[in-house]
Structure 1
Amino acid sequence: MPQLSLHSPIGPLTLTEEDGAIISLDWGWGRDQTETPLLCQARDWLDSWFDSPQKQFPLPLKPHGTAYQKKVWAVVSAIPPGETLTYKQISEKVGGSPRSVGQAMGANPIPILIPCHRVVGAGGNLGGYSGDGGLEDKIWLLELEGVVLPRK
């Protein structure tokens, strides 16, 4: 599978393509680097997004996951930049529980592009984040998008 890495403000990221769609975004620098048209477009979009994060990802995504995870990820993909939903709000849309939504978020193979950083807990609790920097990455991404977070 073709992969292409990029430098970002939250560290190196690697995009992976399969059958004409992005299937993963991982923290770290990939071993192999292949500049396909799709991967170059995705890299360029991410470079631009880190400068001005007010747009949705326009390229095809095809994450591997269960039917339930894909339902959750579809709802999360529709959250506009600068806005958040709670785990409970998403569970009310797709079924399951806030915990099952959290598990789907933890299994998200394409963070940032499927913006799981926009999913938060009730009452100002941020929940978790799978990025290399954990919650620090989530806070950074939310603040980049203009979300005002409660300070403790």
Structure 2
Amino acid sequence: MPSSLFDTPLGPIAVHWQGETLTGIDLEPLGLAGPDSSSLASLPGWIARQLEAYFTCSETRFDFPLALAGTPYQRRVWSALQAIPVGETRTYGDLAHELGSAARAVGQACRSNPCPIVVPCHRVVAKQGLGGFAGDTSGRRLEVKRWLLRHEGVAHV
């Protein structure tokens, strides 16, 4: 599966794809060289253009094909995440109620999301506060969540 580093305001992210389909985004890529013209040139242009557009204007809608490897339940949660509009949040409990599930199960599915940013798990927050992001409740990942929400105009972060 091809991978390229993509430079963002958050630092480099690794973008993975197969053919014309996005398969993953790593916010903290390990073991890959820094962004350079050769790695960026290999990234399909339409993926690069939409990611660049998002980091310029948060209202950008992603419309490229996704292949999200996960359980049927995880895919249901990820589909619900994609329905949350830019600039809005939902609580883990709200999504759990909508899906007939438990908040903890929603949190686990968010943690397993292979395409953060594009599948906006950052828009899911705790009833009281920000909650976690990618399995962390403090540190760099939570700062990434705060940045993404502020970028999208969410004021209470």
Stretches of structure 2 that go unaligned for 5 or more consecutive residues are: none
Matched residues in 2 for 1:23 and 1:95: separation? 27
Q: Structure 1, residues 65-117: CA drift from partner, whole Å, max 9, x if none?
A: 00000000000011111111111111112122000000000000100000000
Number of residue pairs the alignment of both structures matches: 148
TM-score of the aligned structures, taking structure 1 as reference length: 0.88
Letter in 2 for 1:76: L
Structure 1 pair 140–34 and aligned structure 2 pair: CA distance change class (3 A)? closer
Contact 1:6/1:14 (CA < 8 Å) preserved in 2?
yes
Q: Residue 13 in 1 paired to residue 25 in 2? A: no
Q: Residue 43 in 1 paired to residue 51 in 2? A: no
Matched residues in 2 for 1:41 and 1:19: separation? 12
Letter in 2 for 1:144: H
| 1:41 CA displacement | 1.3
Q: Residue 78 in 1 paired to residue 78 in 2? A: no
- Root mean square deviation of aligned Cα: 2.1
Q: Residue 33 in 1 paired to residue 35 in 2? A: no
Matched residues in 2 for 1:88 and 1:46: separation? 29
Q: Structure 1, residues 47-80: CA drift from partner, whole Å, max 9, x if none?
A: 1111100132111111100000000000001111
Contact 2:6/2:40 (CA < 8 Å) preserved in 1?
no
- Percent of aligned pairs with the same residue? 36
SS at match of 1:70: helix
Q: Residue 141 in 1 paired to residue 138 in 2? A: no
Contact 1:2/1:34 (CA < 8 Å) preserved in 2?
no
